[in-house]
Amino acid sequence: MENKKTKNMVSIVIPTLNEASGIKKTIGSIPIETLRKMGFDTEIIVVDGGSTDGTDRIAKELGARIVYEFRRGYGRAYKTGFSEARGDIIVTLDGDGSYPSEYIPQLIKFLIENELDMVIGQRIPKQGAMSKINALGNYILTMLIKMLFRIDIKDSQSGMWVIMKDVLKDIMPRGNGMEFSEEIKIKAYFCRNRVKEFPIPYRKRLGEVKLRRFRDGIRNLLYIFVIFLHSHFGKRCYE
């Protein structure tokens, strides 16, 4: 059952699977005191897929609430985390230290001041943070989305975004895998249209790379066409 919302709370949802190398930096960099001065309480929800390296233990020691989701899938982990979130505002992060947790107050401020439904962290990779093949894949997927759906987006695969929880009921993706990230952005633009990007630094991940570049890239590419068909050729929102 979905938890009751709490006003003036930010829920930070982090999916993990063996991220002991990066979870300490990810959680430790969250500026809880800054958020408190902005008027927000903070809850950190780590959705763990069955880590064997102590990720869940480390996260719990750092104050996170641990939720287990043993069914595989990046999107499935987020759906589980969202159902547990009590805040009006939800922030997403990877647990590998690649996204700047310290930027959360800036993103929230940008969301509120511009009366947006969603803010996407547009990654500006630091030197060596993103491989050339990953950068190329992101470019191809983003350009395809821009062309098919005629939306102005620069980073369709970013894993850091801020969203109003009430919006999720209108744009919850169907996908349960890596395609979840691009689908929620397309639906946010398409169904709500109060979305903007905000530049953030992107760092080299800590720990083992889990992205299956070719398989996940092809799956994301094909899924864009699935979304396109469900939206009746990019002309309307879909459930």
pLDDT value, residue 210? 67
Q: Which residue has the tokens 């309307």?
A: 236
The string of DSSP letters for the chain reads: -PPPPEEEEEEEEEEESS-HHHHHHHHHT--HHHHHHTT-EEEEEEEES--SSSHHHHHHHTTPEEEE--S--HHHHHHHHHHH--EEEEEE--TTS-S-GGGHHHHHHHHHHTT-SEEEEEEEEPTTSS-HHHHHHHHHHHHHHHHHH----S-TT-S-EEEEGGGHHHH--S--STHHHHHHHHHIIIII--EEEEEEEE-PPSS-----HHHHHHHHHHHHHHHHHHTTTTTS---
Q: Is residue 232 over pLDDT 70?
A: yes
Q: What is the pLDDT of the chain when averaged over all its residues?
A: 93
CATH topology of domain 6-132+157-209: Spore Coat Polysaccharide Biosynthesis Protein SpsA; Chain A (3.90.550)
Closest CA to 167 of 140, 192, 132: 192
Residue 158 banded pLDDT, cuts 50, 70, 90: very high
Q: Side-chain half-sphere of 238: how many Cα atoms within 13 Å?
A: 16
Cβ 90 vs Cβ 9: under 8 Å: no
**pLDDT tens string 171-220:** 999 999 999 999 999 999 989 889 999 999 999 998 777 667 778 889 99
Least confident of 40-44, 65-69, 84-88, 203-207: 203-207
- Whole-prediction pTM value? 0.93
Q: Alpha carbon 181 to chain centroid distance?
A: 6
80: which residues sit within 8 A by CB, 6+ positions away?
A: 47, 67, 69
Least confident of 40-44, 185-189, 231-235: 231-235
Q: Alpha carbon 26 to chain centroid distance?
A: 14
- Pairing type for strands 161-164 and 195-202 reads unpaired
Mean pLDDT across 121-128: 93
Q: Is residue 5 over pLDDT 80?
A: no
pLDDT value, residue 3? 54
Q: Is residue 4 over pLDDT 90?
A: no
CA distance 116 to 119: 7
CA distance 21 to 85: 25
Cβ 29 vs Cβ 102: under 8 Å: yes
Residue 24 banded pLDDT, cuts 50, 70, 90: very high
69: which residues sit within 8 A by CB, 6+ positions away?
A: 15, 47, 48, 49, 76, 77, 80, 81
